[in-house]
Amino acid sequence: KQEVTQIPAALSVPEGENLVLNCSFTDSAIYNLQWFRQDPGKGLTSLLLIQSSQREQTSGRLNASLDKSSGRSTLYIAASQPGDSATYLCAVSLNSGTYKYIFGTGTRLKVLA
Amino acid sequence: SAVISQKPSRDICQRGTSLTIQCQVDSQVTMMFWYRQQPGQSLTLIATANQGSEATYESGFVIDKFPISRPNLTFSTLTVSNMSPEDSSIYLCSASGDRSDPYGYTFGSGTRLTVV
């Protein structure tokens, strides 16, 4: 059974710092992996999607890497800002036919001004 | 990618009653899903809403408790039946397979349900 774990569970950093969020999954047979952002009381916003054949994706100050063989992904946030404060979730899709995702436990990030 | 309108955004309900949550997508999508997020926890998939047929439920979730409809490619409803305080959660719908963004995965803004 696929399990997705995120470390740390919570993180508080001063504005301007670069930071790394970690995601690990137990079954390397994934189709793709996505990173999402969830603001309090809101739905989820997709940040980056990495196909299983890719090793990284970049969007602005965000960079996500994928090491499928070791069951790990990292989300790198450069020059953090208070507006980055949110919960970050990673999720893995198990196969191409169903689009079903297994979500991680989330990292709650607070960037201090 | 697709945009989802989810209603209601929140509700407080009496135990024993039922609540129906609606999701309207602004474009036709292949797949729609319903998730539950219990307080302090991550998302758990309840079911896949299939257009024109019965939903596919995940382990631990049954149709009698969470009946789902999907009459067309842009709309779905989830009903939480015979509610108890343990059903207090955020319920989210999501959609995937939009023609303009086939790999995209869009979420509604969620329904915060409190059962008293």
Contact A99 B6 (CB under 8 A): no
Could you read off the pLDDT of A34-82 as tens digits, one per residue? 999 999 877 888 899 998 899 999 999 999 999 999 999 999 999 999 9
Using DSSP bridges, classify how beta strands B10-13 and B111-115 pair: parallel, antiparallel or unpaired.
parallel
Could you read off the pLDDT of B87-104 as tens digits, one per residue? 999 999 999 877 677 667
The Cα of A51 is separated from the nearest Cα of chain B by a number of Å equal to 10
pLDDT tens string, chain B, 116 residues long: the values are: 788 999 999 999 999 999 999 999 999 988 899 999 998 888 999 999 988 888 999 999 999 999 999 999 999 999 999 999 999 999 999 998 776 776 678 899 999 999 99
The pLDDT of residue A96 is 62
Task: Please list every residue in chain A whose beta carbon sits closer than 8 Å to the beta carbon of residue B33.
Answer: 99-100
The pLDDT of residue B20 is 98
CB proximity under 8 Å: B 50-109 to A: 92, 94, 96-97, 103-109
Conformation bin of residue A52: beta by default, left when phi > 0, alpha when psi is -120 to 50: alpha
**Is the minimum CB–CB distance between B112 and chain A shorter than 8 Å?**
yes
Residue in A34, A98, A105 nearest the CB of B105: A34
